[in-house]
Chain A
């Protein structure tokens, strides 16, 4: 014979909630992690390859360079056209020859770039790349190293 008392729906609901919350959650068996890792090690490592310069960075660099090139090509021409000269060093004969050759090539190349209005876009490109590699990447790497020290043990 069942002598249990009658319960209302509300009391039943409270009982069920209490019962379920008092249940102990099942624990995974011993060596579970080891067994999983044995299986995982047989799989190929999952690696996400990231480009050195991301798409967003490329987009920014190109827009910046185009903007500067646009300005350089459309800006009014300067009245003076100064020629860049490589500073002269006091060196032995061989080095003097190399220096002279380098100076000629560099001056010629420099004049070509300067007079064609490509100086500023080139400078902008190098500036943008330098900014990306040395400052932004450097910042990200230092953040990762900090997190590494916090979580790796």
Chain B
């Protein structure tokens, strides 16, 4: 609540012509926005370009911010939409778990790493996340990394609350299957 009041204060200053105050908002949200862009786009340089573009769009759209939601939610919404539309423009195809090729399964199943090692776990998790569609990666980022509520995620993505819950359930299931394939673990 206090964070949102602070944001509103800075926004009022910017809308009164003090453009340099925008740097404070950028500093506050740059890590979260960059992390989201990196999670969805995967490529670091691309994520940096898109993240910068997101902040320029946020600046231009500031007069349209009507305080109906938190400023952070509003920024996330712009960031999410920008990342998704950037990907769609490039027509990058992501591999869905349902269409994993046999070759991939054979090479990836031979991971002989130890599940007890944190590095191995982290590597496998990254691989599993990279195989989710971009929209699902966004949801995972909001839910697990940013600890946003289902309502906030619904506001950001434009989906209904029940839709977000259903998607999260399916994403968890896909991650289980993906991690099983990658690590060779079996369900009891």
A residues near B (Cβ < 8 Å) are 1-2, 4-9, 12-13, 15-17, 19-23, 25-29, 32-33, 35-37, 39-41, 43, 45-48, 147, 151
Contact = CB atoms under 8 A, between A and B. Distances in A.
26 contacts: A2-B112, A4-B115, A9-B176, A9-B188, A19-B125, A22-B118, A23-B122, A26-B35, A28-B30, A28-B33, A28-B51, A32-B30, A36-B23, A36-B55, A37-B20, A37-B23, A39-B56, A40-B19, A40-B55, A40-B59, A41-B19, A46-B62, A46-B63, A47-B15, A147-B9, A151-B9
A26 B56 contact: no
A20 B185 contact: no
A19 B52 contact: no
A2 B116 CA distance: 12
Contacts of B172: 13, 16
A29 B48 contact: yes
Interface residues of B, number: 51
Interface of B: 6, 9-10, 14-17, 19-20, 22-23, 26-27, 30-35, 38-39, 48, 51-52, 55-56, 59-60, 62-63, 111-112, 114-115, 118, 121-122, 125, 140, 144-145, 172, 175-176, 179, 183-188
A10 B33 CA distance: 31
B34 A43 contact: no
Contact of A37 (B26, B121, B188): B26
6 shortest interchain CB distances as A-B pairs: A2-B184, A28-B30, A28-B34, A20-B144, A26-B35, A48-B15
Interface centre among B16, B140, B184 (most CB of A within 10 A): B16
Given A17-B144, A36-B26, A47-B17, A25 B35 contact: yes
